[in-house]
Amino acid sequence: MGASEQQDERSIVWLDIDNTLYSASAGISHAMGERIHAYFVGLGLPDDEASKLHHRYYSQYGLAIRGLVRHHQIDPLDFDRKCDGSLPLEELLKPDPVLRKLLEDIDRTKVRVWGLTNAYYTHANRVLRILGVDDLVENVVFCDYSNPDFNCKPEPEFFQNAMKIAGVTDPSQCYFIDDSLNNVKAARALGWDHCVHFCERGLLHVEGGKPKYIGSDSQDSVADDGIAVITKLDELRTVWPEIFKQ
Ligand SMILES: [Mg+2]
């Protein structure tokens, strides 16, 4: 950004995309888990070893692909095409007027609204388009699989780089919602002041290839560090009233 460009003084809302802007009940994590498993098996790993490694990499790195690149030298773009790229998203998702209204009601004179995703930009943009909100999310900071040394949530560098891209210097200006408690905690630890954990408690989804009941590893309404926990996106109106049109 050139010195002549004016600094954007507005705060910024960072939206996780997968399993946050749509419900885990869409079944996308299940379809994704199957594809990632097939990818591990395609590397020549036996079935049980594939499951074990898939879950280990997810837990350790926040993303299976991070471990695959690090330990198996796979081509992340090939992985993206075969996993996210082959998801039948048009069958699993549809335009969401409630989400659209929520994003429309955010006061853009006060905040910018950006995506912050561990997916590659192709998948992120596809999801936003199908949900019918691509025009309401100004920019997406994504996981750059084309760089072999890419960062992802919950690594601090990923959040710091996102701030740099957006030209934000004060972490207390950051609003953030994510369905991963690890991601939210990592952002909170960097001083992101307005963190929300989106937790569809009790719903069954797939995490690192394993079925899991959402929320089984966290307490109810308030997580650590005053992180708010919500089960419906519309509750953001109550949690962040200052960023909505009056
Ligand atoms: Mg997510």
Cis bond before residue 154 (omega within 30° of 0): yes
Q: Which regions of the chain carry the CATH code 1.10.150.450?
A: 28-86
Residue 132 has pLDDT above 80, yes or no: yes
CA angle at residue 86 from 153 to 95, to 5 degrees? 75
Cα Rg, the chain, nearest whole Å: 18
In which band, very low, low, confident or very high, does the pLDDT at 4 lie, cut at 50, 70 and 90?
Answer: very low
Task: For residues 60-83, give the mean pLDDT.
Answer: 92
Distance separating alpha carbons of residues 37 and 39, to the nearest angstrom: 5
Query: What does the pLDDT read at residue 245?
Result: 98
Distance 139 CA to ligand 1 centre (A): 17
Q: Which amino acid is at 64?
A: A
Distance 2 CA to ligand 1 centre (A): 33
Distance 29 CA to ligand 1 centre (A): 9
Query: What does the pLDDT read at residue 123?
Result: 96
Token digits for 150?
Answer: 């890419």
Q: Which regions of the chain carry the CATH code 3.40.50.1000?
A: 11-23+91-243
Distance 5 CA to ligand 1 centre (A): 33
Distance 3 CA to ligand 1 centre (A): 35
Q: What is the pLDDT of residues 137-166, one digit of tens each?
A: 999 999 999 887 899 999 999 999 999 999
Distance 46 CA to ligand 1 centre (A): 28
Distance 103 CA to ligand 1 centre (A): 18
Query: What does the pLDDT read at residue 220?
Result: 53
Distance 64 CA to ligand 1 centre (A): 14
Query: In which element (H, E) is residue 211 found?
Result: strand 210-213
In which band, very low, low, confident or very high, does the pLDDT at 62 lie, cut at 50, 70 and 90?
Answer: confident
Query: In which element (H, E) is residue 116 found?
Result: strand 111-116
Query: What does the pLDDT read at residue 1?
Result: 46
Mean pLDDT of the chain: 92
Nearest to 10 by CA among 139, 106, 111: 111
Distance 33 CA to ligand 1 centre (A): 14
Distance 17 CA to ligand 1 centre (A): 6
Q: What is the pLDDT of residues 190-230, one digit of tens each?
A: 999 999 999 999 898 888 888 888 988 765 555 567 799 99
Q: Where are the alpha helices (DSSP H) in the chain?
A: 28-42, 47-61, 64-72, 76-82, 89-92, 97-104, 121-131, 156-166, 181-189, 236-239
Residue 95 has pLDDT above 70, yes or no: yes
The full length of the chain comes to 246
Specify the CATH number of the domain 28-86: 1.10.150.450
Q: What is the pLDDT of residues 167-190, one digit of tens each?
A: 999 999 999 999 999 999 999 999
Distance 118 CA to ligand 1 centre (A): 8
Q: Give pTM, 2 decimals.
A: 0.91
* Number of other CB atoms surrounding residue 143 within 10 Å: 25
Residue located via tokens 């992985």: 79
- What are the respective helix, strand and coil percentages of the chain, to the nearest 5? 45, 15, 40
Distance 4 CA to ligand 1 centre (A): 36
Q: Coil, helix or strand for 122? A: helix
Distance 198 CA to ligand 1 centre (A): 9
Q: Are 136 and 113 in contact (CB under 8 A)?
A: yes
Query: What does the pLDDT read at residue 22?
Result: 97
Distance 204 CA to ligand 1 centre (A): 14
Q: What percent of the chain has pLDDT over 70?
A: 95
Distance 180 CA to ligand 1 centre (A): 6
CA angle at residue 211 from 186 to 77, to 5 degrees? 65
Beta bridge partners of 140: 115
**Widest CA span of the chain, in angstroms?**
57
Q: Coil, helix or strand for 74? A: coil
Q: Coil, helix or strand for 24? A: helix
Token digits for 11?
Answer: 């705060």
Distance 8 CA to ligand 1 centre (A): 27
In which band, very low, low, confident or very high, does the pLDDT at 2 lie, cut at 50, 70 and 90?
Answer: very low
Residue 6 has pLDDT above 70, yes or no: no
* Number of other CB atoms surrounding residue 36 within 10 Å: 25
Distance 188 CA to ligand 1 centre (A): 16
Please give the CATH architecture assigned to the domain spanning 11-23+91-243: 3-Layer(aba) Sandwich (3.40)
